C-alpha cells in the first residue's frame, strides 16, 4: 500500500533551534533535531509542551492537510482514515510519563554510540486522541494476528544499513489493543506540533519513547513478528550475554529539588519523581553522601496510572560543605534501581541511582 499524505517542507533544525529560547529546551543535536527538557521543567506534574523533550532520527516531516492513515494487513477490510475522520471518533486522554531509551547515556563508561543524552530526555504530558483499538476495530483484526506495525513518514540513510531506512516499530497485539494506547492528535490540550509528531502519532504508556511512533502513515496488522531496522538493530540491549529488545521503562527516580549546585541549609526538603513501566511505585529512599543509611521518603499519588509518582522527605544534614543526594525507587514488580550502571553497547535503559551535588551552608 502506498503511503498517503504529501510531505511539505519543514523548518530547518537550525531555524527551529534559533527560534526557541534556550530556557525552553536544551539542544543535544541540531540535525537531526534532538533536545532535552531543562531541569526546571521537570518539577511540574505536567511538563509544559514547549519543554517536552524532542527525539528525532531523521529530518522532521511536515504533513499536508490531506494526510491520511492506511490500515491494512491481517484485517477483514482495509480502511483509510483522514485526520478529520480521526478527530470525529470518540476521544480518549491519557497522562503518561515518557522517557527516551537513551536517557542518561552520558553516564555510561565507555560512552556508547548514540545521542549524548544527559538526564532530560524525559517528560510527562497529557495525550488526547483515539484509542488504537477503536481504529483496529474498524478494520477487523484477524484471529492469527500477533503484532501491529506502525510506519512513520520520516526516513533517511544509516551508516549500518544499505538502503534508506524508514522509521517503523511494532507492538505486541496485547499492547496495541490496550485502551490507553493512543493515536494522539493533541498534547496538553493543543494540536501536536511537527517536532512532536503532527498531525498524528502513537503514544504507548509504560514503554520507552521509541514505541510511540511519530508522523504515523500506515498501520499494518502482522501475522509474524516484525524484524525491521529499528526493531532488531536499534532499540535493543546489546550486551555480552546476548541481545534483548528494549520495551518497558525500567524503574527510576530523580531529585527535582534541590537542583544540582544549589545552596541549602542544614534542614532541607528533598522532592522528586519516580516511575516504572512494570508497576506502581511502592517506595522511594533517599541517601546522603553515598552512605548505607537510606531514609524512606513519603510517596504521593500520581496524576494517572501511567504518570510519574511524586515523593518528598526532609533531611537534617550534619555538616556544611558539598554533599551528594541520591534517590532510589522500587516498584510493585519487585524491581529496585541498581547502584551501578548496567552498560550495553547502544547505551539504553540506564536506570542507575543518580547523584545530585549541593552545597550546604
Provide the pLDDT for residue 290: 81
* C-alpha cell belonging to residue 350: 540506564
Provide the pLDDT for residue 19: 36
Provide the pLDDT for residue 23: 60
Cβ contacts of residue 332 below 8 Å, gap of 6+?
278, 279, 280, 281, 282
Alpha carbon of residue 108 to chain centroid? 19
Which residue pairs from 288-296 have beta carbons closer than 8 angstroms and sit at least 24 positions apart in sequence? Answer: 288/315, 288/317, 288/323, 288/324, 288/325, 288/326, 289/323, 289/324, 290/324, 290/326, 290/355, 294/328
Provide the pLDDT for residue 6: 37
Provide the pLDDT for residue 65: 79
Closest CA to 20 of 39, 4, 1, 33: 33
- 297-332 pLDDT per residue, tens: 999 999 999 999 999 999 999 899 999 999 999 999
Provide the pLDDT for residue 13: 37
Closest CA to 201 of 181, 220, 221, 224: 181
**pLDDT tens by residue, the chain, 361 residues:** 223 333 433 444 333 433 334 469 999 999 999 999 999 999 999 999 999 999 999 999 989 879 999 999 999 999 999 999 999 999 999 999 999 999 999 999 999 999 999 999 999 999 999 999 999 999 999 999 999 999 999 999 998 898 999 999 999 999 999 999 999 999 999 999 999 999 999 999 999 999 999 999 999 999 999 999 999 999 999 998 899 999 999 999 999 999 999 999 999 999 999 999 999 999 999 999 887 899 999 999 999 999 999 999 999 998 999 999 999 999 999 999 999 999 999 999 999 999 999 999 9
**Beta-strand relationship, 122-131 and 147-156:** unpaired
Provide the pLDDT for residue 339: 94
60 within 8 A of 33, measured Cβ to Cβ: yes
Return the percentage of the chain with pLDDT > 70, whole number.
Answer: 94
Amino acid at each position: 500500500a502506498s503511503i498517503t499524505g504529501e510531505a511539505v517542507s519543514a523548518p530547518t533544525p537550525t531555524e527551529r533551534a534559533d527560534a526557541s529560547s534556550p530556557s525552553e529546551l536544551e539542544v543535544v543535536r541540531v540535525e537531526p533535531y534532538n533536545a532535552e527538557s531543562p531541569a526546571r521543567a521537570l518539577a511540574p506534574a505536567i511538563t509544559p509542551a514547549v519543554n517536552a523533550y524532542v527525539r528525532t532520527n531523521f529530518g522532521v516531516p511536515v504533513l499536508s492537510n490531506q494526510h491520511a492513515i492506511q490500515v491494512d494487513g491481517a484485517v477483514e477490510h482495509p480502511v483509510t482514515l483522514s485526520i478529520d475522520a480521526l478527530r470525529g471518533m470518540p476521544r480518549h486522554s491519557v497522562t503518561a510519563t515518557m522517557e527516551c531509551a537513551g536517557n542518561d547515556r552520558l553516564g555510561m563508561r565507555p560512552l556508547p554510540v548514540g545521542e549524548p543524552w544527559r538526564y532530560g530526555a524525559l517528560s510527562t504530558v497529557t495525550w488526547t486522541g483515539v484509542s488504537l483499538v477503536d481504529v483496529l476495530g474498524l478494520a477487523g483484526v484477524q484471529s492469527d494476528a500477533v503484532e501491529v506495525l506502525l510506519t512513520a513518514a520520516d526516513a533517511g540513510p544509516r551508516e549500518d544499513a544499505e538502503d534508506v531506512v524508514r522509521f517503523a516499530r511494532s507492538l505486541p497485539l496485547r499492547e496495541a489493543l490496550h485502551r490507553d494506547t493512543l493515536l494522539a492528535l493533541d498534547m496538553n490540550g493543543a494540536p501536536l506540533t511537527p517536532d512532536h509528531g503532527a498531525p498524528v502519532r502513537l503514544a504507548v504508556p509504560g514503554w520507552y519513547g521509541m514505541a510511540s511512533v511519530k508522523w504515523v502513515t500506515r498501520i499494518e496488522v502482522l501475522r509474524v513478528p516484525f524484524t525491521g531496522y529499528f526493531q532488531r538493530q536499534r532499540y535493543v540491549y546489546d550486551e555480552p550475554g546476548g541481545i534483548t529488545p528494549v520495551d518497558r521503562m525500567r524503574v527510576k527516580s530523580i531529585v527535582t529539588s534541590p537542583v544540582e549546585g544549589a545552596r541549602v541549609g542544614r534542614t532541607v526538603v528533598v522532592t522528586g519523581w519516580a516511575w516504572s513501566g512494570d508497576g506502581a511505585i511502592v517506595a522511594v529512599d533517599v541517601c546522603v553522601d553515598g552512605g548505607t543509611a537510606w531514609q524512606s521518603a513519603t510517596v504521593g499519588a500520581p496524576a494517572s496510572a501511567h504518570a510519574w509518582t511524586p515523593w518528598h522527605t526532609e533531611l537534617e544534614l550534619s555538616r556544611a560543605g558539598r554533599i551528594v543526594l541520591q534517590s532510589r525507587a522500587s516498584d510493585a514488580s519487585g524491581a529496585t534501581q541498581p547502584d551501578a550502571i548496567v552498560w550495553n553497547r547502544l547505551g539504553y535503559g540506564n536506570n542507575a541511582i543518580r547523584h545530585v551535588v549541593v552545597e550546604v551552608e
